[in-house]
């Protein structure tokens, strides 16, 4: 997927900025603690694959 898309795409819940995890093919919203998977270049915004995460998996601090 084009990097440009990830810069303009917004969270469907809070319209905040999403964080792209290239190696995991997922987008994260830190505010909602939600992750949105990408399957075959399709970003999944609804359904069972969208899950709430307790913590951002790549958060360092």
- The secondary structure of residue 37, as a DSSP letter, is E
Minimum distance of Zn ion from residue 15's CB (angstroms): 7
User: Among the candidate windows 8-16, 19-27, 35-43, 45-53, which touches Zn ion by CB under 5 A?
Assistant: 8-16
Residue 51 within binding range of Zn ion, rule CB under 5 A:
no
Q: Nearest 5 degrees, angle CA 25-CA 26-CA 27? A: 140
Asked if residues 51 and 57 have their Cβ atoms less than 8 Å apart, the reply is no
Residue 13 within binding range of Zn ion, rule CB under 5 A:
yes
The residues that touch Zn ion, with contacts defined as CB under 5 A, are: 11, 13-14, 16, 29, 31-32
């Amino acid at each position: 997927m084009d990097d440009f898309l990830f810069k303009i795409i917004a969270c469907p819940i809070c319209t905040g900025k999403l964080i792209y995890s290239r190696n995991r093919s997922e987008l994260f919203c830190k505010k909602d603690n939600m992750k949105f998977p990408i399957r075959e270049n399709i970003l999944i915004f609804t359904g069972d694959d969208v899950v709430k995460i307790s913590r951002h998996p790549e958060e360092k601090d």
